[in-house]
Chain A
Amino acid sequence: MEAFTAHTGRAVPLRRSNVDTDQIIPAHWLKKVTRDGFEDGLFEAWRKDPGFVLNEPARAGASVLVAGPDFGTGSSREHAVWALQNYGFKTVISARFADIFRGNSLKNGLLTVVLPQETVERLWELTEADPAAEVTVDLVARQVRAEGITADFSLDENARWRLLEGLDDIGLTLRHESAIAAFETRRPSHKPSTARV
């Protein structure tokens, strides 16, 4: 997983609450066999509307999603996180995230930032008025900064440390490499092997 220290980018203001994972990535995309290529499925139904914010030419290349409260409710599909990342989002800001979505996002290196709804409103106003406005999400300082806005956020220490270090579960386990190797030398020879006989 890529380390996350700080990110600055243009934003997509998504003035909708209760965005569930079926809206983020519809079920028919789950038949895919990769973690890549979900970008076209992201918000698929809404994108059919030319007026949808993601379709505005000025939003191309934006990497910060500023969403309404209760983002990521519904099914536990990890594909919702992959779709956001595949599209190019590095971070999502909302007043409240669904638990499973939040867990999945942090496991995959997508930083989900909780800010008060008033701050989200101010970010919406700023980025709607000026699509070129940049938003900085600074995990080291635990702060979101944009023109005229400075807002602190909190994140549990273990999750923050993993993101800063870019450690996924596998990366963390591989820190025990020598313990794993030592365990392997102790395994009795009668243990099962799938090597062809």
Chain B
Amino acid sequence: MGRTLAEKVWEEHVVARAEGEPDLLYIDLHLLHEVTSPQAFDGLRKAGRPVRRTDLTIATEDHNTPTLDIDKPIADPVSRTQLETLRRNCAEFGVRLHPLGDVEQGVVHVVGPQLGLTHPGATVVCGDSHTSTHGAFGALAFGIGTSQVEHVLATQTLPMSPFRTMAVTVEGELPPGVTAKDLILAVIAEIGTGGGQGYVIEYRGSAIEKLSMEARMTVCNMSIEAGARAGMIAPDETTFAYLKDRPHAPKGADWDAAVAHWRTLRTDDDAVFDHEVVIDASALSPFVTWGTNPGQGAPLSAAVPDPASYEDASERSAAERALEYMGLTAGQALRDIAVDTVFVGSCTNGRIEDLRAAADVLRGRAVADGVRMLVVPGSVRVALQAVDEGLDAVFTAAGAEWRHAGCSMCLGMNPDQLAPGERSASTSNRNFEGRQGKGGRTHLVSPQVAAATAVLGRLASPADLPAGPVLAA
């Protein structure tokens, strides 16, 4: 019987296998950031162990870093300690680090791919659940806990139990204005936040094949929001073209050997998935969340659902709680929901294509009175590219704030937070209670919807905007 992409990558990394025990898997790339690594380094120090492969390990600072005044000392002592600890640990153990102020600094899942470190068929781990992002290259990439971070630092391997495989096949053409973010939000609403539990999802089908690498990263990034261990997309010409000539892409004969191997990384025609979901791309439209988990979403044209309409008692009570927290009423049109804040950024939608999409909507328009819009590039490289293209000027001319790279308001560990009761349209990935600040209310949206929402002050898509003084790009 044929094998799936995920199974092929797994098999290539088995170091040791014994009956009744988990497989010992080799890890090709280990990404670190300041929040989940300190106790792992501390464990190494106590046991007198070195980092086995510093050449397969890289660290960046993202979660705690401020997006303003980055040249000044960090005000919050806890954030400062976490960053200083990472710097000390990396220096002591010889790990490459891109600290705040470095040109390669940024959100860990933006930095890896842009350096060309994320390769098809690689195993990639990080003490962060959105490691699934890297699956866009056909890598097997998953988030791990602090004990496992220490395990990988010490051994470059992880004992792993097998997973099940799920195919999410998206056929057809995405309608104009419908993005990868809308697609993945619709997938999560379809299979539920627990629907992917225990699975590695492979996204396939003609609509997926047409997506750019950055759009594929948006899709794989949110696999974790469906509960999946990882998301993957088979590598193809789009993947190879993105990687070619990046700093850490293979060179010369290595490149040819790599591409020849990468071409074999496809699910065999006779392979069988444990579960299959089929989505019609042409039926999708801009999608937003109304609740407090990423599965509680609906097309922008819909209304806030009535909890009473849920058959399942736990879904019904979850919807009731969500509406109460979000301050919404059943039946209210989603387009009538007014927001205070718009956030464009994060490892889901903080790459250059996302900024271009938002800027295209904002060009020649203005952010509505009383609305605060933050644009936070996913990395310094993304920021530089955006400046090169004049996107920063578009944002500031429209009245948005152009900030320094980092996780920022995706999780509110740094000063960028919602105040209690404040409502945001956010291009990030989690709308949990308090995620963007205590009492904050989050609607997950695409960059295009975020920008249109900023202009109208209420949830909107670019199609809702009056054909105003839009200047040519």
Chain A residues packing against B (C-beta within 8 Å): 31, 33-36, 78, 107, 169-170, 173-174, 176, 179-180, 183-184, 187-197
Contacts and interface: CB of A to CB of B under 8 A. Distances in A.
B273 to A, nearest CB: 28
A33 B42 contact: yes
Contacts of B47: 170
B339 to A, nearest CB: 30
Contact of A197 (B28, B38, B39, B248): B248
A192 B39 contact: no
9 contacts: A33-B42, A34-B38, A107-B147, A173-B155, A187-B26, A190-B255, A191-B122, A193-B55, A193-B56
B16 A179 contact: yes
Given A33-B82, A197-B247, A169 B147 contact: yes
A165 B117 CA distance: 38
A128 B117 CA distance: 61
Contacts of B38: 33-34
B58 interface: yes
7 smallest A-B Cβ distances: which pairs? A33-B38, A190-B258, A190-B250, A190-B254, A194-B58, A33-B85, A183-B15
A35 B40 CA distance: 9
Nearest to B43: A35
Contact of A170 (B82, B118, B154): B154
Contacts of A176: 15-16, 24, 157
Contacts of A194: 29, 54-58, 96, 117, 248
A188 B78 CA distance: 42
Contacts of A34: 38-39, 42
- Main SS class of interface, A: loop
B15 A192 contact: no
A192 B56 contact: yes
A192 B29 contact: yes
Contacts of B421: none
A179 B25 CA distance: 11
Give the residue among B122, B155, B255 with the most A Cβ atoms within 10 A. B155
Nearest to A177: B155
B257 interface: yes
A129 to B, nearest CB: 38
A180 B151 CA distance: 13
A176 B146 CA distance: 22
A31 B151 contact: no
B155 A36 contact: no
A36 B469 CA distance: 61
B155 A180 contact: yes
B112 to A, nearest CB: 9
B119 A191 contact: yes
A183 to B, nearest CB: 5
B301 interface: no
Contacts of B46: 35
Contacts of A180: 15, 24, 26, 155-157
B210 interface: no
Contact of A192 (B85, B117, B261): B117
A193 B246 CA distance: 13
